[in-house]
Amino acid sequence: MVLADLGRKLNSALSNLNKSPVVDEKVLDELLKEITKALLESDVNVKLVQTLKKQVKAKVKPALESTDKSKEGQRKSIIQKAIFDELVQLVDPGVEPYKPKKGHPNVIMAVGLQGNGKTTTCTKLAVHYQKRGFKCCIVCADTFRAGAFDQTRQSATKAKVHFYGSYTETDPVAIASEGVAKFKKERFEVIIVDTSGRHRQESELFEEMKQIQAAVKPDMTVLVLDASIGQAAEAQSRAFKESADFGAIIVTKMDGHAKGGGAISAVAATKTPIIFLGVGEHLNDLDRFSPEPFISQLLGMGDLRGLMEHMSDLARQNPDRQKEMTKAFEEGKLSIRDWREQMQNIMSMGPLSKITSKIPGMAGLMEGLAGEGTDEEASRRLKRLICITDSMTPAELDSDGMLFLRIGKDNKPTGVTKRVLRVAKGSGASVREVEEVLMQHRMMANVAKQMGGKNGMLQALKGMG
């Protein structure tokens, strides 16, 4: 997960609040001190942190001063909500980015300094939109860096994305115009124009950007920024903005940099929306960014919208199962077979921790799965759990798992049932492992239940578009 360290510190501060028997000004100050420290360590600008602190204090003041005993219990949730909202504010520029439209030639132009990850990001973007059913292509208008076209060619070929460029043409404006015109004629829907970068912000770079912008008239220009510059992202994005207007930002290399929090908040302060975060070198390592789910995930509260999007990507790859799976989620009923399929899908989508951090309550469970170990160990353990289901009968797989349990008078499972013993024996696993499969299934089924139904989150998410 990106900013895992910051997330852990914020979480620990909030859980201290939860444990505290009384909630008074002293407890609040202590909490804010910890949060402030965590944010500053992530390179968030001091002024922004101070504003956050002031705002939280102002919001919770009435609750803290109230002598109404009945309201005392609400103090914790009022404080938590205030902190959540202010963290969202910190990364929210309050501006909606451009959204590519189907059946329209959406031209997206990428700009940024050399080495920031522009070329990689262009291919990642194409992969992202391609997965969502857009016909995508890349135009390489970087004539400055030797080997730029080869890099585009290689990564676009790997991603099965059409591309355009030239080994001989030296005028980037000509290449950009020709490429965009060709792809528009061929009815491509997302046309990504990769431009050249320089090591520093130089007037020639800005001039070239302006000329390409004038020639291809992009629907959206995206600035690609490297997270490692932390709060210096503000100055860089302002410098670019003064020269060539852009509508959105992608912050790359969020996977490796503790300073990413600084970069995100600095960019938000310039009132430009961040649309994606680059979270690794692979083509799928691009996370859609949106303030509220981001903070929710950072605080270990999951990102259901991200999860849904992920699942529909997977479903698109296997349309036959799409309907059944959506139905299972909508009705809030998830069989062990559904669970197994989800887990297999999740495993095929790259690092486990990245996916599970989107599922409420799963991030902690993931730690249980991997212990202090790596993603790889967690994958191995999950694979083993999946194999256990091979020893279940079809009826057991299609069930909600309840038939494995013997329920006591207090409505809690008691003892180990013969079924569990049989599956353990059949799969060569321990009883504990079989129980873990059942528990993991129950966890996901609970998420499905929360999401399903007329008033469930799934409907709410659909409403959000």
Under the criterion CB under 6 A, does residue 105 sit at the interface with ligand GDP? Answer: no
Residue from 71, 104, 115, 331 binding ligand GDP (CB under 6 A): 115
Site for ligand GDP contains 172 (CB under 6 A): no
**Contact stretch for ligand GDP (CB under 6 A) within 118-126, 172-180, 318-326, 345-353:** 118-126
Smallest separation, CB 387 to ligand GDP (Å): 32
Nearest approach in angstroms of CB 148 to ligand GDP is 7
Q: Which stretch binds ligand GDP (CB under 6 A): 7-15, 160-168, 198-206, 251-259?
A: 251-259
Note whether 280 binds ligand GDP by CB under 6 A.
yes
180 lines the binding site for ligand GDP (CB under 6 A): no
74 binds ligand GDP (CB under 6 A): no
Residue whose Cβ sits closest to ligand GDP: 278
Our finding on whether 256 is near ligand GDP (CB under 6 A) is yes
199 or 418: CB nearest ligand GDP: 199
Return the residue of 253, 310, 358, 441 that touches ligand GDP, per CB under 6 A. 253
Q: Which stretch binds ligand GDP (CB under 6 A): 27-35, 86-94, 107-115, 346-354?
A: 107-115
To the nearest whole angstrom, how small is the minimum distance from the Cβ of residue 253 to ligand GDP? Answer: 4
Q: Does 150 bind ligand GDP (CB under 6 A)?
A: no
Residue 253 or 354 having the CB closest to ligand GDP: 253
Q: 130: buried, middle or exposed (CB in 10 Å: 19+, 13-18, 0-12)?
A: middle
Of residues 342-401, those binding ligand GDP (CB under 6 A):
none
Looking at the Cβ atoms of 116 and 231, the one nearer to ligand GDP is 116
Please report how close the Cβ of residue 227 comes to ligand GDP at its closest, in angstroms: 8
Q: Is 197 in the site for ligand GDP (CB under 6 A)?
A: yes
Binding region for ligand GDP (CB under 6 A): 112, 114-120, 197, 252-253, 255-256, 278-281, 285
